[in-house]
Amino acid sequence: MEKKRKINFSSIYLFIVFIILYLPIFYLMYYSFNSGGKMYNFESFTLDWYRELFGNTRMLIIVLNTIIIALLSAAISTIIGVCGAIGIWLIKSKISRQTLLSLNNILIVSPDVVIGASFLILFTIIGIKLGFTSVLLAHIAFSVPIVVLMVLPKLQELPMTIIDAARDLGASHWGVLTKVILPLITPGIFAGFFMALTYSLDDFAVTFFVTGSGFSTLSVEIYSMARRGVSLEINALSTILFFVTILLVIGYYFIVSKQNQGHPARLEARK
Amino acid sequence: MKTRSQKWFLIPYYLWLALFVIAPILLIVYYSFLDIYGNFTFKNYQRFFSSVYLEMTVSSFWYALLITIFCLIVAYPTAYLLTRTKYKQLWLLLIIMPSWINLLLKAYAFIGIFGTYGLANALLEVLGVGSRQILFTDFSFIFVAVYIFIPFMILPIFNALDKLDKSYLDAAMDLGASKWQTFRRVIFPLTLNGVKSGCQVVFIPALSLFMLTRLIAGNRVITLGTAVEQQFLVNQDWGMGSTIAVFLVIIMFFIVFFTERGVRNGKKAQN
Amino acid sequence: MKKLIQAFAALFIVSIVLLLWVNRLNASEGYTGDNTITVFNWGDYIDMDLVEQFEEETGITVIYETFDSNESMLTKIQQGGTSFDVAVPSEYAVERMKEEDLLYPLDHSKLPNLKNIDPRFLDMSYDPGNQYSVPYFWGTVGIAYNKKMLGERTFDSWNDLWADDLDNQILLVDGAREVMGFGLNSLNYSLNDTNPEHLLEAKEKLKTLWPNIKAIVGDEMKMLLVNEEAPIGVVWSGDAADAMWENENIDFVVPKEGSNLWFDTMVIPKTADNIDGAHQFINFMLDAEVAAQNTDYIGYSTPNKAAMELLDEETVNDERFYPPDEITDKLEVYKNLGRENLALYNELYLQFKMERK
């Protein structure tokens, strides 16, 4: 009896958390059907915004740009970040480890305009053409520290014996890295990847400063609409993207877990 | 030969550090000594120690602290309960997904929800509390900030809890520890790395929050981030903006050293 | 490990496929061709149908890029790296761009439609002889108020905002020049005043307004006014027009002490590649029918006299947005006060914001 009550309580808690997390999203989805044209005063149901969206090639290009930048920057920054996290973890001296970690966090604490403006100066000095490349580089740059912060705690939990083996990671110990360490920190790596994705999708200020040559992302487009009022086309777009992502995530999850079900032993071994 | 092969995978990370952290930070320190005409000056630092900016620093700290604490209070149970669900990885992804929707859109949704005639007040009416001002208060500001940062807190804690060896808990229970004792003496210390990492990724960026201070708090909250934003963009006083940014970085250094030490001690306590 | 490698390989493959798709789209839209101009404007600040019409008429492809504030646009153009052919800054930004030599002088022989512009809005102090800029839209700063929520009350002076019974009722637009400006105006000083004593006086007076201020907000002002979140807003006329369009209880007034007259203008930055195309675009936007259609879409006040004849009577005769001469005479354009004075404005504004309670 008591156990059952506990389960109910915890599902209620989770339910409330999810409701709050999704409330604003349902709110903006609801208004994507508003004929009134704004995110308030619902007038009547319409699909006009969706219709308009599908005829808008410029918007399609912007969406694709956003996705490409997000995926590539998250993937590359995850690779760099994992290397960095292992590096920091391997350092014995406490002072140098803390210094390195502090340096790592500088981009997280710096306000976006500062990052954007200094990257802009940097790119113009180096002579990188503003556009796809500069935006990609910038997104990789500001995503690396978050990956490090997500991976590091996983590394710190590894048992001492592995640390010792890893400390003298020579050519012969390449196996320790790929066969032991990486599989053990995989959850941290995925956490880092998804956080990097989040950073990239949401960034406005940095992207704005380092973009050019007709290259634009969704965030830049949305923020620049603020003065005139964000078009409901954006709400329609967010709704579609959201459902596509949910389908992809759920689909992927079940494919993967089905594959693993066939080989429970292998899964265990890999863990 | 051996030392070289040990460090090869650190090369991309150091390259990143040099190019996107060290170079911009040097640039910012350089700018912080320039006045609006580009002449060398210490005035910006003098100005920072005037009452306006000190007050701002204190209030930024206070709000960041509140945001972090509330994030932790909500995130820990959520992460804990998530680890006990059936499709935990899927649920975790669903927690992250709302953060892929543009922040400005979500902020607009919150303005609608918290408004005088919004959903929240309608709910309060039904509950018999009566409507009150929610938008442009400390409550709404902290609520929305927690909303935004919550996935960043849940993720590392989830990863730490997920790995927790069940046998420890069973052992504790067998030894007659109460639930609270088990949590305080076993679960919490073992997940401390995750908690620390979560607090860092929330507290540090919360110090420099800027957009929400206007959208949700109506400029009734002003943080260091807002000030940097203003100095860089509106006032075009890159010198003063850089000076504040330098202080943000210094504050962050202290936080990292402080939390890192805390963790070392925590580890000792475990042993 | 295998799982990791698989996941990352899949990611890179998906990205490459998407990249190829985008490149094809860009090519088919003509964005990668030679005959293009890049227009740098606020988001949704032009009727896109007109852009298409321009493309059809001239064969030039328009790449439309957007910014969210004058200041960020300025920083971008200053740093270079991108070729913007036409930009749409506000008048104070034009002055700054002129000062920093970021603008290309306009060739008036290529802009025959310039004659359509009301001479009242030509040859302004920010750009004598319209050497560098052509007005796109214009407006004022005033008080928007909700008749339903406030009853019979009217506003004709800035000082009406300080009334005792308006506790927590006012929204201010978040701009140092705007807020300090109406503070100065309420004391009958010019909003271009640089006397530090007057500025300090204005700040002290504004401080006493705090009990009546609900929030200091940005672009979300319209939304808040329409939703009747607060009955009073100190706003740009363009925002007021938008809000009135959606909520008929809202009215707008330019106080008698005077106010600001602002312009958004079209300019050709020094970074331009296709200067001829840029002139063609500006001239096209000055065409009477085009400007009328654009005004219909945007809803701000147009400086285009020929276009006004094509708009409906009701719009053009609305004195709140096309005020008669006796009011326009009291409006002042923001002067470039120099960096030092501007810094003082900003510092005082920041102090005002910090000194609530």
Residues A80-113 have pLDDT tens digits of: 999 999 888 888 788 888 888 888 888 887 888 7
How much is the average pLDDT of C111-116?
Answer: 95
CB atoms within 10 A of CB B16: 23
> Which tokens in the block code for residue B149?
């940062």
Smallest Cβ–Cβ distance between A141 and the set B16, B156, B252 belongs to B16
∠ CA A94-A99-A102, nearest 5°, is: 125
Residue A263 has pLDDT above 80, yes or no: no
Q: Do both C143 and C247 map to the same domain? A: yes
Among A121-130, B97-106, C112-121, top mean pLDDT goes to C112-121
**Mutation site for B-interface testing, chosen from C74, C353, C355, C356 by largest number of B Cβ within 10 Å:** C353
Q: Do both C27 and C42 map to the same domain? A: no
Asked if C93 contacts C73 with a C-beta cutoff of 8 angstroms, the reply is yes
Per CB-CB distance under 8 Å, the chain C contacts of B133 are 168
* Smallest CA–CA distance from B106 into chain A, residue: A24
Q: Does C43 touch chain A (CB under 8 A)?
A: yes
Q: Could you give the count of Cα atoms lying within 13 Å of C188 in the half-sphere of its Cβ?
A: 0
Hey, which chains touch C, using 3+ CB pairs under 8 Å?
A, B
> Tell me: domain A55-233, CATH 1.10.3720.10, correct?
yes
Work out the mean pLDDT of chain A and round it to a whole number.
82
Domain extent listing, chain B? 51-270
Per mean pLDDT, which range of A117-121, A196-200, C26-30 is the poorest?
A: C26-30
Output the CA–CA distances (angstroms, integers) from residue B209 to A201, B171, B224, C154, in the order listed. Answer: 17, 44, 8, 38
Smallest Cβ–Cβ distance between C219 and the set A75, A214, A226 belongs to A226
Smallest Cβ–Cβ distance between A223 and the set C22, C45, C68 belongs to C68
Span C157-166, pLDDT tens digits: 999 999 999 9
How much is the average pLDDT of A181-189?
Answer: 86
Q: DSSP of chain B, one letter per residue?
A: -HHHHHHGGGHHHHHHIIIIIIHHHHHHHHHHTB-TTS-B-SHHHHHHTSHHHHHHHHHHHHHHHHHHHHHHHHHHHHHHHHHTSTTHHHHHHHHHGGGGS-HHHHHHHHHHHHSTTSHHHHHHHHTTS-----TTSHHHHHHHHHHHHHHHHHHHHHHHHHH--HHHHHHHHHTT--HHHIIIIIIHHHTHHHHHHHHHHHHHHHHT--HHHHHTTTTSS--HHHHHHIIIIIS--HHHHHHHHHHHHHHHHHHHHHHHHHHHHHHHHH-
Which CATH fold would you assign to the domain B51-270?
MetI-like fold (1.10.3720)
Asked if C199 contacts C104 with a C-beta cutoff of 8 angstroms, the reply is no
Percent above pLDDT 90 for chain A: 25
Smallest Cβ–Cβ distance between B55 and the set C69, C174, C354 belongs to C354
- Cβ separation of C222 and A221 shorter than 8 Å? no
Beta bridge partners of C145: C232, C251
- Cβ separation of A41 and C26 shorter than 8 Å? no
- The number of distinct structural domains making up chain C is 3
CB atoms within 10 A of CB C195: 12
Q: Smallest CA–CA separation between B234 and chain C, in Å?
A: 6
Residue B224 φ/ψ region, left for φ over 0, alpha for ψ in the -120 to 50 degree band, beta for the rest: alpha
Residue C71 has pLDDT above 60, yes or no: yes
Q: Smallest CA–CA separation between C158 and chain A, in Å?
A: 25
Per CB-CB distance under 8 Å, the chain B contacts of C69 are 233-234
Per mean pLDDT, which range of A58-72, A255-269, B10-24, B38-52 is the poorest?
A: A255-269
> Which tokens in the block code for residue B44?
């910006």
Residues B172-181: contacts with CB under 8 Å, at least 24 apart: none
Beta bridge partners of C140: C261
Per CB-CB distance under 8 Å, the chain A contacts of C220 are 226
Q: Does C226 touch chain A (CB under 8 A)?
A: yes
- Cβ separation of B214 and C218 shorter than 8 Å? yes
Q: What is the pLDDT of residue C118?
A: 92
Q: Smallest CA–CA separation between C325 and chain A, in Å?
A: 28
In this structure, what CATH number is given to the domain that contains residue C228? 3.40.190.10
For residue C265, give the H/E element and its range: strand C261-267
- Cβ separation of A24 and B208 shorter than 8 Å? no
Task: Please give the residue range of the domain that contains residue C23.
Answer: 1-32
Span C181-196, pLDDT tens digits: 999 999 999 999 999 9
What span, in angstroms and rounded, lies between the C-alpha atoms of C124 and C263?
A: 10
- Cβ separation of A68 and C81 shorter than 8 Å? no
- Residues of B in CB contact (< 8 Å) with C are 36-37, 52, 55-56, 108, 111-112, 115-117, 133, 135-136, 214-215, 217-220, 222, 227, 230, 233-237
Q: Could you give the count of Cα atoms lying within 13 Å of C133 in the half-sphere of its Cβ?
A: 29
Q: What is the pLDDT of residue A56?
A: 84
For residue C134, give the H/E element and its range: strand C133-146
Phi and psi torsions of B137, nearest 5°: -125, 170
Smallest Cβ–Cβ distance between C217 and the set B214, B230, B234 belongs to B214
The amino acid occupying position C203 is K
Per CB-CB distance under 8 Å, the chain C contacts of B235 are 176, 342-343, 346
Per CB-CB distance under 8 Å, the chain C contacts of B135 are 215, 229
Residue A217 has pLDDT above 60, yes or no: yes
CB atoms within 10 A of CB B226: 25
- Cβ separation of B56 and C220 shorter than 8 Å? no
> Which tokens in the block code for residue A1?
């009896």
Beta bridge partners of C61: C36
Q: Does A151 touch chain B (CB under 8 A)?
A: no
Per mean pLDDT, which range of A262-266, B151-155, C100-104 is the poorest?
A: A262-266
- Cβ separation of B117 and C228 shorter than 8 Å? yes
Q: DSSP of C160-222, one letter per residue?
A: GGG-TT-TT-EEEES-HHHHHHHHHHHTT--TT---HHHHHHHHHHHHTTGGGEEEEESTTHH
Q: What is the pLDDT of residue B170?
A: 79
Q: Smallest CA–CA separation between C8 and chain A, in Å?
A: 7
What span, in angstroms and rounded, lies between the C-alpha atoms of B32 and B38?
A: 10
Per CB-CB distance under 8 Å, the chain C contacts of B230 are 346, 350
- Which residues 130-149 on chain C approach chain A with CB closer than 8 angstroms? none
For residue C149, give the H/E element and its range: helix C147-150
Q: Does A185 touch chain B (CB under 8 A)?
A: no
3-state DSSP call for residue C353? helix
> Which tokens in the block code for residue C165?
């019974």
> Which tokens in the block code for residue B192?
């401390």
Q: Smallest CA–CA separation between B92 and chain C, in Å?
A: 18
What span, in angstroms and rounded, lies between the C-alpha atoms of C56 and C237?
A: 33
Q: Do both C172 and C312 map to the same domain? A: no
Q: Considering only CA atoms, which of C216, C176, C184 is closest in space to residue C200?
A: C184
Question: What count of CB pairs under 8 Å joins A to C?
Answer: 126
- Cβ separation of C356 and B220 shorter than 8 Å? yes
Per CB-CB distance under 8 Å, the chain B contacts of A194 are 93, 96, 155
Q: Considering only CA atoms, which of B150, B166, B154 is closest in space to residue B80?
A: B154
Q: What is the pLDDT of residue A54?
A: 87
For residue C143, give the H/E element and its range: strand C133-146
For residue C237, give the H/E element and its range: helix C237-246
* Smallest CA–CA distance from B222 into chain C, residue: C354
Beta bridge partners of C139: C262
Residue C305 has pLDDT above 90, yes or no: yes
What is the value of pTM for the model shown?
0.88
Work out the mean pLDDT of chain C and round it to a whole number.
90
Q: What is the pLDDT of residue B243?
A: 92
**Mutation site for C-interface testing, chosen from B52, B119, B234, B243 by largest number of C Cβ within 10 Å:** B234
Q: Considering only CA atoms, which of A228, A186, A226 is closest in space to residue A204?
A: A226
Per mean pLDDT, which range of A166-170, A231-235, C114-118, C317-321 is the poorest?
A: A166-170
> Which tokens in the block code for residue C324?
């008669």
Smallest Cβ–Cβ distance between A229 and the set C26, C222, C227 belongs to C222
Positions in chain B whose pLDDT score sits under 50: 1-5, 264-271
- Cβ separation of B108 and C223 shorter than 8 Å? yes
Q: Do both C350 and C237 map to the same domain? A: yes
**Mutation site for C-interface testing, chosen from B216, B232, B235 by largest number of C Cβ within 10 Å:** B235
Per CB-CB distance under 8 Å, the chain B contacts of A170 are 2, 5-6
Query: B231 vs C265, which has greater pLDDT?
Result: C265
* Smallest CA–CA distance from C352 into chain B, residue: B52
Per mean pLDDT, which range of A33-37, A141-145, C112-116, C132-136 is the poorest?
A: A33-37
Per CB-CB distance under 8 Å, the chain A contacts of B163 are 154, 157, 187
> Which tokens in the block code for residue B180?
């609270």
Q: Do both C123 and C218 map to the same domain? A: no
Cα separation of the two ends of chain A: 36
* Smallest CA–CA distance from A40 into chain B, residue: B112
